[in-house]
Amino acid sequence: MKLEGEGFLLRIYLGEQDKYNHVPLYEAIVLKAREMGLAGATVLRGPMGFGANSHLHTAKILRLSEDLPVLIEIVDKEERINAFLPELDKMESDGLITLEKVRVIKYRAKADKP
């Protein structure tokens, strides 16, 4: 797949303990993105954060949380992201989703070696 020039960055903010069909929601989202052939996805786990309900999630020793913030970033062409959004809507009820234009400088996989 070639992805250069204008692309879109989809960011999905959720909690580590969020589930979809008994699996971590972040895992379900990444697997669906892969299944739909999106360019790539990355899951980032945050040491601290809060969302719409202002509940603080932190990894500090004295306030150890098992529900740390999770951010998923997916970059692809606008039409492919737009096709993914209805699937994402089926999986996530709470959280924050953002979309912004990005300039893709480089997106290449290493060539398979014979």
Residue 23 lies in a domain: yes
Amino acid letter, residue 55: H
State pLDDT tens for residues 17-69: 899 999 999 999 999 999 999 999 999 998 888 777 666 666 555 555 567 88
Q: What is the pTM of this model?
A: 0.83
Residue 90: left if φ>0, alpha if ψ -120 to 50, beta else—which one?
A: alpha
**20 and 91 in contact (C-beta within 8 Å)?**
yes
pLDDT over 70 for what percent of the chain? 82
Residue 79 lies in a domain: yes
What's the confidence (pLDDT) of residue 86?
Answer: 96
Amino acid letter, residue 69: P
**94 and 14 in contact (C-beta within 8 Å)?**
yes
Mean residue pLDDT across the chain: 85
Residue 114 lies in a domain: no
Q: What is the dihedral of CA 79, 83, 88, 94, to 10 degrees?
A: 60
Residue 11 lies in a domain: yes
Domain of residue 89, CATH code: 3.30.70.120
CA 53 to chain centre: 20
Number of domains observed in the structure of the chain: 1
The label of the residue with tokens 């492919």 reads 80
State which residues form the domain around 65. 5-104
